[in-house]
Amino acid sequence: MDAVNNISNLQKIGQTGAAGQAAGATSTTGTDGASFKDVLMSNLKEVNALQQEADQKLDNFVTGKTNNMGEVISASQKANMAFSMLVQIRNKLQDSYDELKNLRV
């Protein structure tokens, strides 16, 4: 669930950034002082950690170190959900960048 909370933090920073730019502010930091890049990098690291944890649990199940298949499925689904959200964020960022490129000055 931490991945979901971090994604929510990204959305808050995005909304704060849009409101700040409308008011004439040029800062890229959120309300807690973390920059967008820092939040994005921490989310990337967390998604990577979730995927590694799911791989480790699958390896443990396959090698017989654990018999808890539910734990393996849960970790795998958690990693899959976090990665899906990360891909959606990337797609939204790409769409925003493409829209900015098409603006005429």
What is the residue-level pLDDT of the chain in tens, covering all 105 positions? 565 565 555 555 555 444 444 444 444 555 667 898 999 999 999 999 999 999 999 999 999 999 999 999 999 999 999 999 999 999 999 999 999 999 987
Is this prediction's pTM over 0.75? no
What Rg value do the Cα atoms of the chain yield, rounded?
Answer: 18
Q: Which pLDDT tens digit goes with each residue over 48-76? A: 999 999 999 999 999 999 999 999 999 99
